[in-house]
Structure 1
Amino acid sequence: MTSGNLKYQFARLSIAEKLIVINLVVFILDGIIPFLLDLPKNSLSQWFELPKDLFAFISQPWSIVTYSFFHAGFWHLFWNMFMLYFSARIFLNLFGPRKLINVYFLGVIFGGLLFLLSYNVFPAFLGRNSALVGASAGVTAVLIFICAYIPNQEVRVFFFNVKLWYIGAFFILVDLIQIPGGQNAGGHLAHLGGAVLGYVYARQLLQGRDIGAGFSKLLDGFADLFKKKEKKAPLKTVYRKKAGTKGSPVDYDKESRQRKIDAILDKISKSGYESLSKAEKDFLFKAGKED
């Protein structure tokens, strides 16, 4: 398969599937590069993991995001990506990829910050040599977001239908119980940080406030730095619009579309996703793709 075909296949993936592929590629490289160069196992990941020491973090501030692309082992990676795939399928039926990116990476950042704060404030963690890796905080943020946004929506778990808020409550309870165990306290704290972000984001969005809008603008500004500036043409041709031709769609078309989306989302929050008609589900799916 040529590089062009690979790019085409990658472009066709959903944003969640792209994140899964990136995490898998990083996991493979993190294992094979140190092996081929006969280096210690963490010789690559140590530059991207989130250290618990504040001064070490200041020297590699990018680690507040990059730690999420590295994993401690195969099963750590597998369960994180499995949960991301499950959660994102529901999420992307409601919203577009941009909002998933917001929730996921804000969850990663908030989980990392809670890890840093806890390991530098609470006496139980002082003096411990620890670092954080894994996408769990971002995955938990996406999961808890949908559990808080459509809490009464039922999903199939093995042979039973379970409401989403039961699933969210179960995962949070498991993390709270396991923190005192000490083996992966930092990881469980990061999960809780992601959970808080996901819950607050969903509840604020239900009230019409998108707390990730500023983060989205920040990402756009960062992306613009890497875009090639187009050369300005020396001459510009201007065409006069002929009388009688129709202009661009008027604003009330967009407002009508948004009102319909809001009505459907309100119906979901009250009665669950399954209460939607096929036409409403199709409309919401297409609207999510266009966001």
Structure 2
Amino acid sequence: MSNNTFKDLKHKVFQSGDPSYLYIGINTIIFVVFALINVPFFLSGNGGSAYDGLIREYMGFPASLQQLPYRFYTILTYQFFHEGFFHLLFNMLWLFWMGRIFLDFLKPRQFHFVYLCGGFAGALLYLLAYNVFPVFAAVTASGTATVIGSSAAVMAIVVATATLVPDYSLRLLLLGDVKLKYLAIAYVVLDLIGTASPAAGGSFAHLGGAILGFAYIKMLRGGTDWSNIFKKKPKLRVVKNNTSGKTTAPRKNVDRVDQQEIDAILDKISKTGYDKLSREEKETLFKASKH
């Protein structure tokens, strides 16, 4: 890899300000590093893999309530480890595709909130399910049940995007143009079916992320933005007294976009689709995404 290519990747992941690239980069780097660690672990002949002996035990989110007090940090770490290459690949592809659409309409701060809190919600629903439903009692008591993967966080982004712009279409191989709302519904139904399978833990985590993504957009439309907890508090400024007796009218920001106008455009998208927006409306959304 040339030096310029490395610099471009570094800039895109860590300096561009695009959260989708940031999370794709972090997930990929962690996967590659631990995959390399797994090589001598496997070749040593001790059996198993680093994922069975290290990642699952110390980085995976546990189903056991007894383990949670000293593995509390795993509610974050489990989101950045994957079982295998294809587990990582499909999650990162969906994160890239949905991330591009999400960031066309909303802010990076909101992306960070939905991604991270979607992962948290997925872990909590997984924990609840494994401690409520009797079918999981034995595996939960054994202390071996854990969940890893960014699927819950990615699912939150997917469902949030589909809730925001349900009639936005993606062109899929063999299927043609498919609206986001149908894709999201299909994934939720598959995960509901998956709760009655040996891989039920992952399905419950996905559903937790989906609930968070849906609830976030519904609250946002109602005027409540949960991601405001990530906002930086404005610094205090000292204003010099005007001794001349003249008052200066505040300068109006010409790029500022009225929230009511944005809400009206989003409502239009939900009814007729993004493609029906005028050029001016698309420019308004673009400006809003920069603030």
Asked if these proteins are the same fold (TM beyond 0.5), I'd say yes
Counterparts in 2 of 1:131-170, with a 5 A limit?
131-158=146-173, 159-170=175-186
What's 1:284 paired with? 285
What's 1:262 paired with? 263
In structure 1, give the amino acid aligned to 2:86: W
Structure 2 counterpart of 1:53, from 56, 64, 69:
64
Residue 59 of structure 1 and its aligned partner are, at CA, apart by 0.4
1:248-276 residue CA offsets vs partner (Å, 9 max, x unmatched): 5359985x533332332232223221111
1:8/1:212 Cα in 2 relative to 1: closer, same or farther (>3 Å)?
A: closer
Tell me if the contact between 1:34 and 1:44 (Cα under 8 Å) persists in the aligned partners: no
In structure 2, give the amino acid aligned to 1:105: L
Unaligned residue ranges in structure 1 (runs of 5+): 222-236
What's 1:213 paired with? 228
Write the distance in 1 (CA, Å) between the matches of 2:212 and 2:186.
17
Write the distance in 1 (CA, Å) between the matches of 2:282 and 2:37.
46
1:9/1:189 Cα in 2 relative to 1: closer, same or farther (>3 Å)?
A: closer
Tell me if the contact between 1:50 and 1:64 (Cα under 8 Å) persists in the aligned partners: yes
Residue 18 of structure 1 and its aligned partner are, at CA, apart by 1.1
Residue 247 of structure 1 and its aligned partner are, at CA, apart by 6.3
Tell me if the contact between 1:100 and 1:142 (Cα under 8 Å) persists in the aligned partners: yes
What's 2:32 paired with? 28
Equivalent pairs counted in the alignment come to 270
Task: Tell me the percent identity.
Answer: 36
Q: Which deviates further from its counterpart, 108-117 or 258-267?
A: 258-267
What is the DSSP-based 3-state SS (H/G/I as helix, E as strand, rest coil) of the residue aligned with 1:125?
helix
1:8/1:87 Cα in 2 relative to 1: closer, same or farther (>3 Å)?
A: closer
1:49-81 residue CA offsets vs partner (Å, 9 max, x unmatched): 101111212102111111010000000000111
Tell me if the contact between 2:221 and 2:263 (Cα under 8 Å) persists in the aligned partners: no
Structure 1 runs (4+) greater than 4 angstroms displaced: 2-7, 36-40, 237-248, 250-254
- Is 1:83 matched with 2:94? yes
Structure 1 counterpart of 2:21, from 14, 17, 20:
17
Tell me if the contact between 2:255 and 2:287 (Cα under 8 Å) persists in the aligned partners: no
- Is 1:178 matched with 2:187? no
Write the distance in 1 (CA, Å) between the matches of 2:275 and 2:153.
26
Structure 2 counterpart of 1:121, from 115, 132, 147:
132
In structure 2, give the amino acid aligned to 1:8: H
Provide TM-score, normalisation by structure 1.
0.82
1:248/1:13 Cα in 2 relative to 1: closer, same or farther (>3 Å)?
A: same
What is the DSSP-based 3-state SS (H/G/I as helix, E as strand, rest coil) of the residue aligned with 1:126?
helix
1:12/1:121 Cα in 2 relative to 1: closer, same or farther (>3 Å)?
A: same
Residue 100 of structure 1 and its aligned partner are, at CA, apart by 0.8
Write the distance in 2 (CA, Å) between the matches of 1:22 and 1:122.
34
Write the distance in 2 (CA, Å) between the matches of 1:279 and 1:208.
24
Tell me if the contact between 1:34 and 1:41 (Cα under 8 Å) persists in the aligned partners: yes
What's 2:251 paired with? 249
Write the distance in 1 (CA, Å) between the matches of 2:157 and 2:210.
8
Residue 119 of structure 1 and its aligned partner are, at CA, apart by 1.1
Q: CA RMSD in A?
A: 2.9
Residue 278 of structure 1 and its aligned partner are, at CA, apart by 2.2
Residue 22 of structure 1 and its aligned partner are, at CA, apart by 0.4
